[in-house]
Chain A
Amino acid sequence: MTEQQALYKYSLRLGDNALILSARLSEWCSNAPFLEEDLAVTNMALDLIGRAQAMLKYAGEVDGNSKTEDDLAYRRGERDYYNNLIMELPNGDFAYTMVRQLFVSTFELFFYEELQKSTDATLAAIAAKTLKEVKYHHLHAKDWVIRLGDGTEESNRRVQQAVNQLWMYTGELFEMDGTDALLMKDGIAVNAEHLKMGWIQMVTQILALANIELPADGYMQSGSRMGIHTEHLGHILSEMQYLQRAYPDATW
């Protein structure tokens, strides 16, 4: 693998994470528990599409095959997608979506803080902009997890259940492979393993405020680094890519 190939894959991975999570969040549009929250969740989906656009555009430039961000989003099969599995899981109830947001945005808080310092100027610039947005996503998710965890018996039960179900997908956030190793040598990529302690501490603290128990260490599901996904990703792509696939000659 050359550094160019690694950078392509790295940008693609970050772009895919944003794209697929935005697809899930946008499903809340006209489905949220009340109007203000409908707007808030849509707002986060919009931030994520913007990030996906920037990352995929960069991936296309690095690759040099004159593929646009839309080509990469709409004409790629699921085995070539590299988003973490947690992004593609169905929304579940509002507690499930908020717990996922908490896990992901806490990770991103640490991740983009580091990526800002990347020696790759484009990644550093996207990271700086992303960090501002992620701070808000994190605050929003944290408030909701605490509010629901410490709300009623039912809401506490739902949050606990979401935490238990999502836990096995959190290990993947910190996984690294040859791509990361190669890019880290030149200070381009973030050492994700180093972020784990901070993440655990912050999540533990927030879950304690929410009266939620931390699951015991257990099996962690993995696969996305090799493009092996859950059964759900194919359905997201079938919907998302429908028009581009059905009318390949059309521009929209």
Chain B
Amino acid sequence: MEQAQDTLLREFEEKIECGFAIEPKDRMPAGYRKHLVRQMSQHAHSEVIGMQPEGNWVTRAPSLRAKQILLAKIQDEGGHGLYLYSAAETLGVSRDELIEQLHTGKAKYSNIFNYPALSWADIGAIGWLVDGAAIVNQVSLQRTSYGPYSRAMVRICKEESFHQRQGYEIMAKMMAGTADQKAMAQDAMNRWWWPSLMMFGPHDSDSPHTGDAFKWKIKRHSNDELRQKFIDKTVQQAEVIGLTIPDKDLKWNEEKKCYDHGEINWEEFSRVIGGDGPCNKQRMEHHISVHNEGAWVREAAEAYSAKQQYSKNV
């Protein structure tokens, strides 16, 4: 039995080694399935919870065009949530179960959405920095070893790059605007920069999930590599529109050809992940209450569909 298991694992790992994608009906180790369900559901929940801070500005968007762009963006995020839930379902777990795990705290979502969207510039900062950071990670995931996940990522990346440009456009417009607008934009930058860097997770030396994820090619680049990529592309974008990165230790490292950055506040990171952030409770209570309030609608839809089915059969 054990020998058979070993053979299976070896075959699976050889397949991965040769660069083949793993598909839903292929045999895969329990650990691989578990890792993917955890990662994909976290990713799906992040898309959905991320609708809340942006949704906070929908009714106050300052122009018809701005409102259209913001609504369409949030709609995209919801759509990403749907693909990812569906992709996770190919591993034998239902959307209901995943939502249940979110509500009981067993599943997580990206920590970044535990921060509040306080001004219109935050909508710019979320698009530019948060989606910008997400893209760096997602581009790398386009080549992840699980087929449905990788295909979902290809589509998601296309849309995210729009969001990033739209977010940057908001920031650029505000930086070219009145003194109030510039102050709002810089304030948003100051509040979102560090949490955006935290989105890549702990330093490689402290990251608990990396071992098998690398071997199984779920993950293709390390947290620190991805974070560095994000910093290097973002610093110049900030400079172009006159925003200051709130890091006094940030400087170009000629030898390494990249930016060195200051120390990330890991204490804040663990505190917020642990539940004590500005919006953790608000986000979860909102999701739970909307879900519960909608129960009668879902029940009615099921009852109606059962009646239809019944009259079809009689």
**A interface residues with partner B (beta carbon < 8 Å):** 23, 26-27, 29-39, 42-43, 45-46, 49-50, 52-53, 56, 69-70, 73-74, 93-94, 146-148, 150-152, 154-155, 158, 236, 239-240, 242-244, 247, 249-252
Q: Say what secondary structure dominates the interface of chain A.
A: helix
A243: chain B residues at CB < 8 Å are 60, 62, 120
Contact B64 A151 (CB under 8 A): no
- Residues of B in contact (CB 8 Å), total 45
B170: chain A residues at CB < 8 Å are 252
Q: Say what secondary structure dominates the interface of chain B.
A: helix
Contact A35 B64 (CB under 8 A): no
Q: Give A162 Cβ to nearest chain B Cβ, in Å.
A: 13
Contact B290 A31 (CB under 8 A): yes
Contact B78 A50 (CB under 8 A): no
Among residues of A, the one whose C-beta sits closest to the C-beta of B56 is: A30
Contact of B300 among A29, A155, A244 (CB under 8 A): A155
Contact of A151 among B52, B120, B290, B301 (CB under 8 A): B301
14 contacts between A and B (CB under 8 A): A31-B290, A33-B297, A35-B48, A38-B51, A46-B68, A52-B64, A146-B304, A148-B301, A151-B304, A152-B299, A242-B60, A244-B63, A250-B62, A252-B170
Q: Give A248 Cβ to nearest chain B Cβ, in Å.
A: 10
Contact B48 A147 (CB under 8 A): no
Contact A147 B304 (CB under 8 A): yes
Q: A46-B72, A70-B65, A151-B303 are in contact. List 7 more A-B contacts (CB 8 A).
A: A29-B74, A33-B290, A35-B85, A42-B71, A69-B64, A151-B304, A247-B181
Contact A250:B51 (CB < 8 A) given known A35-B81, A94-B297, A151-B299: no
Given the complex of chains A and B, what is the CA–CA distance between A252 and B62 in angstroms? 7
B286: chain A residues at CB < 8 Å are 30
Contact A73:B64 (CB < 8 A) given known A38-B78, A46-B71, A247-B178: yes
Q: Give B109 Cβ to nearest chain A Cβ, in Å.
A: 13
B85: chain A residues at CB < 8 Å are 35
A35: chain B residues at CB < 8 Å are 48, 78, 81-82, 85
Given the complex of chains A and B, what is the CA–CA distance between A70 and B68 in angstroms? 13
Contact A43:B75 (CB < 8 A) given known A247-B181, A252-B63: yes
Q: Which of A49, A150, A243 has the most CB of B within 10 A?
A: A243
Given the complex of chains A and B, what is the CA–CA distance between A250 and B176 in angstroms? 10
Given the complex of chains A and B, what is the CA–CA distance between A37 and B71 in angstroms? 14
Given the complex of chains A and B, what is the CA–CA distance between A251 and B74 in angstroms? 23
Contact B297 A148 (CB under 8 A): yes
Contact A42 B75 (CB under 8 A): yes
A46: chain B residues at CB < 8 Å are 68, 71-72, 75
Given the complex of chains A and B, what is the CA–CA distance between A207 and B170 in angstroms? 46
Contact A33:B58 (CB < 8 A) given known A42-B71, A70-B63: no
B48: chain A residues at CB < 8 Å are 35
Given the complex of chains A and B, what is the CA–CA distance between A243 and B64 in angstroms? 12
